[in-house]
Amino acid sequence: MEDAAADSAGYRSARRGPAPILHGAPGLREELDMATQLVSEWLSTGAAPETVAVLVRDARVRDVVSRGLRDRGVRMREVDSGELGTGLPVVMTMHRAKGTEFLNVLLFGVSASALPSRAVLTGLSDAERDDALLRERSLLYVAATRARDQLACTWSGPQSPLVPSLS
């Protein structure tokens, strides 16, 4: 087997969870309202607070989300580096979430203007652009796979082309 090529044809996962929740909003206020509703619902069904995470593209959005949820009555722990801690849901960047797992994950702000990041794609050759798009897609995949039981995605304005539609 060591010399044989890996083949995943016919592989089926032993776990099958619910379909992701996809929710577009007309603006940031409504997207924050939806995030508040989702996080509150997950917590009210008995999920330990530290098993709930909101993942965002960058630190600026992390701060906006944390402040927006706090203003709506949901306290979050902003995680930049170090330990995740216990007792509160967390909000962190998708990059920081690598290597973690949560029962419930909300990918916040997965709009066309955020993913793929325009800053990452600016001034690139076609080959470099293809590579950068692959990295953006991979980042989103890693973020989405942090959810063990439930994944939700929200966005304001047009949905990111990297988030497949379930309709």
User: 12-43: per-residue pLDDT in tens?
Assistant: 555 566 889 999 999 999 999 999 999 999 99
> Is 80 exceeded by the pLDDT of residue 147?
yes
Kindly state the percentage of the chain with pLDDT values over 70: 88
Distance CA 141, CA 99 (A): 13
Structure confidence at residue 167 (pLDDT) = 41
Neighbours of 40 (CB within 10 A): 16
91-108 confidence digits (pLDDT tens): 999 999 999 999 999 999
Predicted TM-score of the model (pTM)? 0.86
